Amino acid sequence: MGKVCGYPNRFFTLAKRSLDTMAQLAKMRTTGPTKRKMLRIKGDTSWAYAFIAVALVVYAVFTAYPVISALIISFQEYKPLGSQFVGWENYANTFTDSLFWKSIKNTIVYTVLTVPVSLFLSFVIAIMIHPLRKGMQTTFKAIYYLPAVASGVALSVVWLWIFDPMTSGILNQLLGLFGITNQNWLGSSSTAMFSLVLMAWLSSHGTSIIIYLAALLGIDHSYYEAAELDGASFLQKIWYIVIPCLKPTTLFLLVTGVIGSFQVFQNAYLMTGGGPDNATTMVGLLIFNNAFKYFEFGEAAAQSLI
């Protein structure tokens, strides 16, 4: 049995032959005098060090310094006019705070519900867009990517209108057509989290679609030709060719999606404020409230480092 993109696959016999031939030609072209000549080429590396230095300065100012400052503040009862060292007190208060653990639970639930579904929707939409003409592809990519470049406040206003508990809310209007009474989507602890999840499902996969489309362009067309010769259906091509070849891309999007979900702040802050009854209080929102609402900077710093 052959392999596609490094994974076992039965639609690979003809493609493997062509790839072997290409590999032999590439090996011939990168050996001998040409390769030795390339190895002898030496250039001025000062520009490389200059670019690296700029990156290091940016990292030091915007990443290393804030982390070190947060670490120092986490051991203090921080005050602008004078701080007092309190040792591990802020960490002890954090670990015994029930709201902190509830925010962890809310964040995990939000991540589990949003990331897999968003990835699946992005994958399906990318598969549907990929066969279209270039002009149509560009149009759909712009449409799906628009929420990513729009103002978060503007998007929240739109979603607040959609979830409006009164008759003006478009979601309640649609449900009313089926005889379902109006729901207070953001004002009930049983539906507030689902409302944020639904918002993420429908407006946060534009970047993933673009990345999936770029990955689809990188799949060797010989795989599809070999599959067609073997009589593979459309779904078989997806299962045996596309999914294996996109595994690295999916893993990348999964990791970045989980990181982004754990850092979620804007949606909860603007849509629900963490309520009702802290049902949508995420870790990021809890840290923000402790720092800038209750001015417990030491405890907020400790929570940000855990």
DSSP state of 64: I
Q: Dihedral, CA atoms, 223, 224, 229, 233, nearest 10 degrees?
A: 130
- Rounded CA separation 20/4 (Å): 13
What are the tens digits of pLDDT across the range 171-187?
888 888 888 888 889 98
SS3 category, 77: strand
Mean pLDDT in residue range 62-75: 92
- So what's the pLDDT on residue 21? 47
Q: What is the dihedral of CA 163, 167, 172, 173, to 10 degrees?
A: -130
pLDDT, tens digit, 9 for 90 and up, residues 111-160: 999 999 999 999 999 999 998 898 898 898 888 888 888 888 888 888 98
Element (H or E) spanning 7, and its range? strand 7-9
Amino acid of residue 108: I
Q: Which residues make beta-bridge pairs with 7? A: 4
* Burial category of 50 from C-beta neighbours within 10 Å (exposed 0-12, middle 13-18, buried 19 and up): exposed
85-125 pLDDT tens trace: 888 999 999 999 999 999 999 999 999 999 999 999 999 99
R_g over Cα of the chain: 26
What are the extents of the domains in the chain?
99-281
Residues 302 and 287: their CA atoms lie apart, in Å, by 9
Spatial contact of 96 and 179, defined as CB atoms under 8 Å apart: no
Using an 8 Å Cβ cutoff, are 301 and 73 in contact? Answer: yes
Which tens digits make up the pLDDT trace of 227-271? 888 888 889 999 999 999 999 999 999 999 999 999 999 889 999
Q: Integer distance in angstroms from the first to the last C-alpha of the chain?
A: 47
Residue 249 is encoded by which pair of tokens? Answer: 């891309």
Residues 245 and 26 sit within 8 Å (Cβ to Cβ): no
C-alpha–C-alpha distance, residues 273 and 139, integer Å: 35
Percent share of the chain, pLDDT over 90:
43
d(CA 208, CA 220): 21
User: What is the third-level CATH fold of 99-281?
Assistant: MetI-like fold (1.10.3720)
Which residues fall within 8 angstroms of residue 305, CB to CB, at 6 or more apart?
Answer: 67, 70, 71, 74
Residues 300 and 65: beta-carbon distance below 8 Å: no
Question: What is the per-residue pLDDT across 1-30, written as a single tens digit (0 to 9) for each?
Answer: 455 666 555 555 444 444 454 445 445 544
β-sheet bridge partners, residue 9? 2
